[in-house]
A and B are shown apart, each in its own frame.
Chain A
């Protein structure tokens, strides 16, 4: 059986292995693979073999963050700073091999940046390479000079682009499972809960509920069977932060689950992951197996007396299953119908047992809170919402990707400085929170992303999908798009949800296709009010938000649409 000492020794071995080798990192997230990273990897593999360069280490990592530049590789030669190359293909990768690795000359045209993300802080101080590394010549910006990277604060994603998610050793070498060791050997359940409470961590699944409090409630429940669940359903279309975390750093999620389980005294856990994420599921299953083999999961973890095990459960495609009560019905093998609360899941959840459900990103925050403490956690973010949040920024911008910023960062920074609106596109609004969310129009871009402020503007923090929309689409079209989604995904159990979404879509169609009237707009508003108040679960209650939000900011477009129609008919 493995013990705490064994894990610490593994870590020590990895840390002391500092030989300065030549390393090529190939970044293989879903986006990277879809953009052609596999042929790049294979070409490099073949080349290394042909040239008998066993001194070169080839590392495959998860996503490196900037999806629009995939496939990305990072090349580091002994003694020199690394260089990130963008938009690779087999040919370009081999050119890089010849020039950079064999002749020590970086290829400016293909290079994205000098330096890697984990070196950002030191590089910013040094205005150049970290100590021990020499500068690569050429007109290539340092990573610290590129706003996409320098304006981010990577905490949850601190291992991105750097580590092979399939190798638990790599994770352990980067302080992985140290938080589990601390939580299981030095802390009581109460200590863990207090640390998380003090950190002020709020649920990243959308609602922003204080995590420490949720854990405290579940802890207080009596009974020996409790469950620790992870919500990896990520149903908001246009959001993929959780996929990124699971693919690139699955152990950070497992670590959070173990610590949560200890806090509430659960012995079994499940990750409910959507079937649309095959790579995430594969990486998670592999990681769980490896953790089990090192006795980090299972009976009597590392000899500490605490037992906990977990598995991945594949969802079968229903947006409503992201809702907590529906998710639990689905895990039980039933239709994913939500049910009214109370009772809350902390009292009666999975199989009616006390259950905690947390989002992927929430759980991936836990190990660092335990290891570095609540005070450290509060150094970033706002007083009410400490820490960072990952957003996936997509739409009409150039730098598409997952970005992690302190909560409270203005939307403007994320969209214009990190993201950069595409040339030739006129920014109209930024949509947050998906089908339950709303728009922040251009004139309010200076608002801070935090739970309360966004709500004032009729949007929500949501899970982190941030979609940049140009004036290609009208407000009515945006509302219609989301209503169609909600109509399809409504579970059909409650009447306001089932019929209300249908009727609202009917009215929106009418308004946009040329048969609507001002009266239809009034009807739409009245219907929004009814559905919001009477639908059974949050899916349909909040389905009205995209309508209300576009009406609030783009009412003139609704009016124009019905007036042109009225004129045409007259």
Chain B
């Protein structure tokens, strides 16, 4: 099988292990893809094809699953993943002002990465910390009671 140049040997070994553990049972597909993305960061078509060949699950089906669920991404993310919750509680508490500020400060639309590869900005589904609305996640860490002022301070901690 052709080597996937965008990933290291070590990463691919880990992926192989996952595929082996998961087997060819299609019901294990979503957890397998979740874990693979955990290692590689994203799931480009090349890796989808790779998984398809190894598991005998059709590439079509894998593509269908990857594009259906918002958890999966086919594009690499920047060094830091910044997610702003756009759930109802956060909306009521003014998350739109934060979106506006970020889009203006970084001259970017949500869903994209900054050119220096520092941040990927994404909208998040409710993370269940609505009591602390508005909520932001940076690399999975939850920040609550966000304000336009605290935003800069927090982002500055991530290089």
Contact = CB atoms under 8 A, between A and B. Distances in A.
Interface of A: 30-31, 33-35, 67-68, 70, 234-240, 243, 274-278, 313-319, 330-336, 392, 394-396, 400-401, 431, 434, 465, 467-469, 472-473, 481-482, 491
Contacts of B129: 30-31, 34, 67, 240
Interface string B108-120: 0000000000000
B41 interface: no
A149 to B, nearest CB: 16
A395 B27 contact: no
Interface residues on B, range: 35 or more
A31 B132 contact: yes
Interface stretch (B2-10, B45-53, B62-70, B151-159): B62-70
Interface stretch (B11-19, B85-93, B98-106): B85-93
Query: What 4 pairs across the A-B complex have the smallest Cβ distances?
Result: A67-B131, A237-B87, A316-B69, A238-B88
B89 A467 contact: yes
Contact of A335 (B28, B68, B90): B68
Interface in B12-57: 25-31, 33-34
Contacts of A30: 127-129, 142
A408 B143 CA distance: 35
Nearest to A279: B128
Given A237-B87, A318-B68, A473-B92, A34 B29 contact: no
Interface in B64-88: 64-65, 68-72, 86-88
Contact of A336 (B27, B68, B86, B91): B68
Contact of A333 (B65, B86, B128, B144): B65
B82 to A, nearest CB: 15
Contact of B26 (A313, A332, A336, A431): A332
A234 B71 CA distance: 15
B131 to A, nearest CB: 3
A333 B28 contact: yes
Given A316-B72, A400-B131, A395 B126 contact: no
24 contacts: A33-B142, A34-B144, A35-B144, A67-B129, A67-B131, A70-B131, A234-B128, A237-B90, A276-B125, A314-B31, A315-B69, A316-B30, A317-B69, A317-B70, A319-B125, A333-B65, A394-B92, A394-B130, A394-B131, A400-B131, A400-B133, A401-B131, A473-B92, A482-B88
Contacts of A275: 34, 71
B92 A237 contact: no
A481 B143 contact: no
B44 to A, nearest CB: 17
A192 B140 CA distance: 42
Given A317-B125, A330-B30, A335-B64, A395 B69 contact: no
A465 B65 contact: no
A318 B71 CA distance: 8
Contacts of B91: 481
Given A317-B70, A336-B69, A473-B92, A278 B130 contact: no
Nearest to A401: B131
A465 B128 contact: no
B66 to A, nearest CB: 9
B76 to A, nearest CB: 18
Nearest to B93: A395
Given A30-B142, A237-B89, A481-B88, A392 B130 contact: yes
Interface centre among A243, A395, A482 (most CB of B within 10 A): A395
A482 B129 CA distance: 19
B133 A394 contact: yes
Contact of A31 (B28, B33, B92, B131): B131
A237 B69 contact: no
A333 B26 contact: yes
Given A67-B131, A332-B27, 17 more contacts: A31-B131, A34-B129, A34-B142, A234-B128, A240-B126, A240-B130, A276-B126, A314-B34, A316-B70, A317-B69, A319-B125, A333-B27, A334-B61, A394-B88, A431-B88, A473-B92, A481-B91
